[in-house]
Chains A and B, each alone.
Chain A
Amino acid sequence: MIRLLRILGQIALGRFAQIGRASIMWGSALNSLPKTSDARLFIDQIYVIGVKSLILIVMSAFSIGAVLALQFYTQLVRFGAEEAVGVGVAMVLLRELGPVVTALLFAGRAGSAITAEIGLMNATDQLSSMEMMGVDPLKRIVAPRLWAGFFCLPMLAIIFSAVGIWSSGLVGVDWLGIESVGFWAGMLDTVELWEDIGKGIVKTLVFALIVTWIAVFQGYDSEPTSEGISSATTRTVIFSSVAVLTLDFFLTLVMYGDF
């Protein structure tokens, strides 16, 4: 019994220590940027994290927008309300799917890459040799990735929503023959700048923070073995996905919930 308690206590303390390390890492990394001398590192990371995810984001957005338009259409055409496809797709993309799907794809595409990269640096003692040379790895490696991730995910989500809505227009108006004016005017009438677009961006900012934080920390804190890196990468994807989906519920509750 006592031994069981002791083991549980140890596990709990280990978790606390992990959260503590993550917070310290975050705090000191956020402290160290943005400085003009580090802009180079930051731009490089935006290229690696953001630009290289762009193709994946655009392709997913295109097919998701098209599928949403098809599904909404088949249901709404029975009531003669097929013009509402535009509003439906825009609302769903801007409020929920845009932020969430982008964050999930981002965790899989960029998050895992960050973890693996930093994990390997850790395993091959690159981080400690940097420290030895008087270069702070938090500033040099961690901070640019955190900041780049924080900026890239919202930008990708905006592109995702725009491409999704555009592709739904392509399918809805040009292929299914929904009347173009009704399709776009319904959107203009219902979608609001802050209520729908603004709050969606707030969501992505939160997701960006969480996903990049998890990715960087898992790499930074991984065991310096090949199994360690592989499990850290897996954990990044799992933790980020669960965190994004859970947080999405609470963010929706807080921002749109009427209670």
Chain B
Amino acid sequence: MSIRTTEIIVGAFVLACGLALAFLAVRVSGVDLEGNRDAIMLSARFDEVGGLSSRAKVSMAGVTIGRVIDIDIDTEFGEAIVTMAIDGRLSKLSLDTGARILTEGVLGGKYVGLIPGADEEYLVSGDVIVDTQGAILLENLIGEFVTGAGSK
């Protein structure tokens, strides 16, 4: 086989690989938030995160707008500190935005839901969300129900 033909075929092979990688990146993995350098980093303190994991979704009005990056514990106050990366395009999250930990469906994973606020100032990277509501543990609810029913 001539040198030229080999070169053309190898070139086509490399191109096919590039196309396959592009397919995987765009069609399968999508544009990634972690790769977005201007992501807004917010943290929030919760009294209970109950099964939230890092890489869990952060959503507002049901739309995914970010991911949980890190979960840490503050032993002094016994609170969990959840760090989130929010899509950098959403620069207008008002200062009094609230955060709750919610469950997807009955058996789904935990995620952070942001509740829009009304303040005219906006959150910037590094800010802390103050208005939070931790995870509601099903077993606690059942416990309360059982003891509540018993005391009547």
Contacts and interface: CB of A to CB of B under 8 A. Distances in A.
Contacts of A196: 29
B10 A47 contact: yes
A208 interface: no
Contacts of A193: 25, 29, 32, 34-35
Nearest to B5: A47
A197 B16 contact: no
A40 B3 CA distance: 9
Interface in A138-158: 155-156, 158
B27 to A, nearest CB: 7
Contact of A162 (B9, B13, B23, B55): B23
B24 A162 contact: yes
A184 interface: yes
Contacts of B91: none
Contacts of B16: 54, 159
Interface in B26-49: 27-30, 32, 34-35
A156 B34 CA distance: 27
Contact of A54 (B13, B21, B28): B13
A203 B36 CA distance: 25
B10 A159 contact: no
Given A162-B23, A189-B64, A43 B32 contact: no
B14 interface: yes
Contacts, number: 74
Interface in B116-142: none
A215 interface: no
Contacts of B25: 193, 197
- Mostly helix, strand, loop or mixed at chain A's interface? helix
Interface residues of A, number: 30
B32 A192 contact: yes
B20 A162 contact: yes
Interface string A183-194: 010011101111
A194 B14 CA distance: 21
A165 B20 CA distance: 11
Interface string A176-214: 000000001001110111111100000000000000000
25 contacts: A43-B10, A46-B10, A47-B9, A47-B13, A51-B9, A51-B10, A54-B13, A155-B14, A156-B17, A158-B20, A159-B16, A159-B17, A161-B20, A162-B19, A162-B21, A165-B28, A166-B23, A187-B29, A188-B27, A188-B30, A189-B64, A194-B32, A194-B34, A197-B25, A197-B28
Interface of A: 40, 43-44, 46-47, 50-51, 54, 90, 94, 155-156, 158-159, 161-163, 165-166, 184, 187-189, 191-197
Interface of B: 3, 6-7, 9-10, 13-14, 16-17, 19-21, 23-25, 27-30, 32, 34-35, 55, 64
